[in-house]
Chains A and B, each alone.
Chain A
Amino acid sequence: MGIKNNLILLKEYMKIALASAMEYRFNFVLQSITMMLNDAIWILFWWIFFSRFNVVNGWQLKELLMLYAVVTFSYGFSGFLFGNHHNIANIIAEGKLDFYLGLPKSELFHLLISRSSAFSFGDAIFGLVLGIISFSIWQWPLFLLLITIAAVISISFAVIVGSLAFYWGNAEETARTLNFGMLSFAIYPLPIFKGFVRVLILTIIPAGFIGGIPVELLKNFSWQWLGLSILVAIIFFTVAIYVFRKGLKKYESGNLINVRV
């Protein structure tokens, strides 16, 4: 019952997102193209870098393209379907959560899907194209699995840091810094991080699992690392739901009257 209901809700929200994209066609296309151009300029940066240095601890431009395929596709995909995951702190702090509380759906799921970003759509398309260039047809099932794992981890992480707002009130800037901090670690070659930093990005700031580890797995598959990735996704998913529900009990709505347009 629960899951099916939520999927129907997701489908309805997707319909709304597409309808609004069609209504504001120019802006939708502009924002999507902007994001693709943005990603392309990052690729230009790495092309310049690798045309000067060739290899960095076993990583070449090829690995970098794989990394960008993984990160842009999973980020784009999660931003398009669950576009509110970076706004949770703001929604809590401004009392906008009220809307979701009165409805007979999972608050967290409903909150996450009720926004869809055109910038993310551009990311997803870019990742898709890069994925087609970088991976053979045999690698695609694994690629898609790893994308899903990465999306679960990054959305869960965003829910956890966004939920800080239940406790601190204004946690918007902290949440943003942590989210972009994780993304920043994810878009550089994994082998450059050693010692303490490496431990950090493979544990509490799981940047490795949304970028570098998927690339290593697509290059040299290993059951241990795949298992570990799935485990990390499950842990973050569980913690996210726990932290959000626990925080929700502390939630005091504001007296701000919000109009959802």
Chain B
Amino acid sequence: MGFNKYVEVGKISLSNSLVYLMDFLAKSLFIGLIIFIFINLWKVVYGDSTSLIDGFTINMMVWYLVMTESIVTSQGKLLEEIGEEIRSGNIAQSLNKPYNFIVFKYASGFGNTFLRFIMTFTIGAIITLIFVGGINVQLVHLPLILLTVLFALTINFLMMALLGIFAFWLEDARALHFIYQKFVFVLGGMLLPLELFPQWLGDFSRVLPFSYVAYHPAKLWVMFNWSDFVNVIMNQLFWIVIFIITIALVYRICIEKISINGG
């Protein structure tokens, strides 16, 4: 067994994605456009003042968005892919191979996901530097922030994989993907930091797993704080474990049903 095979799949997928660089670029540019629209929105909201809104300067607000958008949109259409493979029965080809289908998906997708994250972040950063300006981040904090980002990408993957398996029963992965995305956009704090929410909704969203994909890592990125960091990491690990267990259970039920269907 060993872990090497997963690393190899990751490498292959990374080189594949370089071929589709232009396709990647178009998608990242689109996210750049959304960031640009929000820069316009925030400039109107902040006016000329250098004031703070719930602790955020305009620069922090925009850099926060660059981070959340880069994390959330880097996963691509994983949910629809898994849903389609299960629904069409193509998954049967993976079942007799000596690897776990979901771990395979994670490894083969991670090269893509990380590359897309870097690309979107770079484009977002360029646009933000041009229209708004920079942000103060201490170099020593960067590896720690990156760690929460990697966990965020993993939680996003796990939630999408879980919903992808549910598509086996619902038979419409696209619909699930749509709604999942919107939950992360709003309740996950991708578009607005949870501080701006009405108190009760902010408190509610803070404990949901969606906020560990977008809000928490991005908040650390613009306002690093040690106790927050420890808290976020612990909670991210908690959700990762919860989702792995859930996926293992649901996946087993799903596979059994597939064998009944004859594959």
- State which residues 12-31 of B face A: CB under 8 Å: 22-23, 26-27, 29-30
Tell me the complex Cα distance, A177–B185, Å.
Answer: 19
Instruction: Check B185–A45 contact: CB distance below 8 A.
Output: yes
The interface bits of chain A over 42-76 (1 if a CB of B lies within 8 angstroms of the residue's CB, else 0) are: 10110011011100110000000000000000000
Shortest beta-carbon distance from A21 to chain B in Å: 14
Q: Spot the interface stretch: A9-17, A78-86, A179-187.
A: A179-187
Instruction: Check B26–A173 contact: CB distance below 8 A.
Output: yes
* A37 / chain B contacts, CB cutoff of 8 Å: 179, 182
Instruction: Check A184–B196 contact: CB distance below 8 A.
Output: no
Tell me the complex Cα distance, A83–B29, Å.
Answer: 26
Partner of A42, one of B30, B175, B182: B182
Instruction: Check A184–B34 contact: CB distance below 8 A.
Output: yes
Tell me the complex Cα distance, A52–B29, Å.
Answer: 29
Q: Cβ of A30 < 8 Å from any Cβ of B?
A: yes
The interface bits of chain A over 77-107 (1 if a CB of B lies within 8 angstroms of the residue's CB, else 0) are: 0000000000000000000000000000000
Partner of A27, one of B45, B171, B191: B171
Q: Which of A35, A184, A192, A194 counts the most B-chain CB atoms under 10 A from its CB?
A: A192
Instruction: Check B182–A41 contact: CB distance below 8 A.
Output: yes
Give the interface SS of chain B, mostly helix, strand, loop or mixed: helix
B20, closest chain A residue (CB): A173
Tell me the complex Cα distance, A173–B29, Å.
Answer: 11
* B30 / chain A contacts, CB cutoff of 8 Å: 177, 180-181
Instruction: Check A177–B41 contact: CB distance below 8 A.
Output: no
* B115 / chain A contacts, CB cutoff of 8 Å: none
Shortest beta-carbon distance from A202 to chain B in Å: 15
Instruction: Check A181–B33 contact: CB distance below 8 A.
Output: yes
Tell me the complex Cα distance, A194–B26, Å.
Answer: 25
Tell me the complex Cα distance, A53–B178, Å.
Answer: 27
Q: Number of residue pairs across A and B with beta carbons under 8 Å?
A: 75
Partner of A31, one of B22, B172, B183: B172
Tell me the complex Cα distance, A92–B20, Å.
Answer: 21
Tell me the complex Cα distance, A185–B30, Å.
Answer: 11
Instruction: Check B198–A53 contact: CB distance below 8 A.
Output: no
Instruction: Check A34–B192 contact: CB distance below 8 A.
Output: no
Instruction: Check B172–A30 contact: CB distance below 8 A.
Output: yes
Known: A31-B175, A34-B179. A49 touches B192 (CB 8 A): yes
Instruction: Check B198–A48 contact: CB distance below 8 A.
Output: yes
Q: Cβ of B51 < 8 Å from any Cβ of A?
A: no
Q: Cβ of B40 < 8 Å from any Cβ of A?
A: yes
* B33 / chain A contacts, CB cutoff of 8 Å: 181, 184
A174, closest chain B residue (CB): B26
* B183 / chain A contacts, CB cutoff of 8 Å: 41
Q: Cβ of B186 < 8 Å from any Cβ of A?
A: yes
Tell me the complex Cα distance, A79–B34, Å.
Answer: 23
Tell me the complex Cα distance, A151–B40, Å.
Answer: 26
- State which residues 149-180 of A face B: CB under 8 Å: 173-174, 176-177, 180
Instruction: Check A44–B186 contact: CB distance below 8 A.
Output: yes
- State which residues 34-50 of B face A: CB under 8 Å: 34, 37, 40-41, 43-45
Known: A38-B179, A173-B26, A174-B26. A27 touches B172 (CB 8 A): yes
B183, closest chain A residue (CB): A41
Instruction: Check A41–B197 contact: CB distance below 8 A.
Output: no
Shortest beta-carbon distance from A42 to chain B in Å: 7
Tell me the complex Cα distance, A194–B33, Å.
Answer: 15
* B170 / chain A contacts, CB cutoff of 8 Å: 30
Q: Cβ of B126 < 8 Å from any Cβ of A?
A: no
Instruction: Check A53–B172 contact: CB distance below 8 A.
Output: no
11 contacts between A and B (CB under 8 A): A41-B182, A41-B186, A44-B186, A48-B186, A49-B196, A51-B198, A173-B26, A177-B29, A180-B30, A192-B43, A192-B44
Beyond known contacts A31-B172, A184-B33: 16 more, CB 8 A cutoff: A30-B170, A34-B172, A34-B179, A38-B182, A45-B185, A45-B191, A56-B44, A173-B26, A174-B26, A177-B26, A181-B30, A181-B33, A189-B41, A192-B37, A192-B44, A194-B40
